[in-house]
Amino acid sequence: MFQNRAEALALALPAAVFAAIVFLVPVVIVLAEGFRSPAGWTFSAYTDFFSEPLNRLVLLRTFKLGLAVTIVSAVIGYAAAFAIVNLSASGKGRMIGLISLPLMISPVARTYAWIVILGRTGIVNQALQAVGLSDEPIRLLFTETAVFIGLLQLFLPLMILSLISALENMPKDAILAARVLGANWFQVFWKVILPLTREGLVVGGTLVFTGSLTAYITPAILGGSKVLMLETLLFQRVTVANDFVSASVIAFILITMCFAANLLLKRLATARNKR
């Protein structure tokens, strides 16, 4: 498209400079705080953080929840995306519109809606009682399950949209060809669809995992503060303890986990492709 690389780079330069100034520089300043001490540069804030058993527990819990949300959203996302790409053009447009709609609503409003749905008098408890699965309202709100449901609903649209775009770019006859050659549906998914849509899975997976890891309001409100997560811990360090050093350590861990997830997903996708 461009005559030479220099031309392309020149066009990308303003956006790159803007991103560097308003994003990269502040992030570096915040992260540098975690390595600074009156005596000079040090890792002591990190060793202090990891020597605390509670912090390790919270880190593991945050990771596990992020992973669970990502895996479940990938499973539901593939099914939904597959159904949607096979609709007529107008049906597809309508469905994509419906999926995108929640993204336009504030996460706070969406989280409050879950308080109504999962409450003692909410629709879930009413349904459970109506079908005789429970005699009295079950406590669903303010549990780890509620946080999981809230996060899944928050980020599932991102996975579905990424997978729709990947499935649309896949050659339509690939599935048919695999079926004709005798592959069952599992083999079709594992050997044809997954390798051909890996880019979408990497993008969706990164967005969902990163989002789940860093969401604050959903775990804080739906978890009822009984379940500490890394992001709630970070909030505590800043607002109560006024301790920006530990907060910077937590921020660094969160950013590292996000990058690691992205690299890992990419690696998995490429490895599958080479086989």
- List of residues contacting another protein (CB under 8 A): 54, 57, 112, 115-116, 119-122, 141-142, 220-221, 224-228, 232-233, 235-236, 238-244
Our CB check for another protein shows the closer of 118 and 158 to be 118
CB of 92 to another protein, least distance (A): 36
Residue 36, classed as helix, strand or coil, is strand
Do residues 198 and 272 touch, judged by C-beta distance below 8 A?
Answer: yes
CB of 88 to another protein, least distance (A): 41
Our CB check for another protein shows the closer of 31 and 228 to be 228
CB of 151 to another protein, least distance (A): 17
CB of 127 to another protein, least distance (A): 16
The residues, ordered by sequence, that sit 6+ positions from 196 with a Cβ below 8 Å of its Cβ are: 166, 170, 171, 174
Residue-level length of the chain:
275
CB of 233 to another protein, least distance (A): 8
Residue 88, classed as helix, strand or coil, is coil
Do residues 73 and 155 touch, judged by C-beta distance below 8 A?
Answer: yes
CB of 119 to another protein, least distance (A): 5
Our CB check for another protein shows the closer of 5 and 226 to be 226
Our CB check for another protein shows the closer of 159 and 229 to be 229
Our CB check for another protein shows the closer of 102 and 122 to be 122
- Rounded to an integer, what distance in angstroms lies between the CA atom of residue 156 and that of residue 94? 17
CB of 108 to another protein, least distance (A): 9
Our CB check for another protein shows the closer of 12 and 28 to be 28
Our CB check for another protein shows the closer of 118 and 188 to be 118
Rounded to 10°, the helix 123-130/107-118 angle is 30
Phi, psi dihedrals of residue 40, rounded to the nearest 5°: 135, -160
Do residues 145 and 72 touch, judged by C-beta distance below 8 A?
Answer: no
Phi, psi dihedrals of residue 86, rounded to the nearest 5°: -90, 5
Our CB check for another protein shows the closer of 144 and 199 to be 144
- Rounded to an integer, what distance in angstroms lies between the CA atom of residue 52 and that of residue 55? 5
Q: For residue 42, how many other CB atoms are within 10 A of its CB?
A: 13
The residues, ordered by sequence, that sit 6+ positions from 261 with a Cβ below 8 Å of its Cβ are: 66, 70, 205, 206, 209, 210
Residue type at 175?
A: I
CB half-sphere exposure, 171, CA atoms < 13 A: 8
CB of 227 to another protein, least distance (A): 8
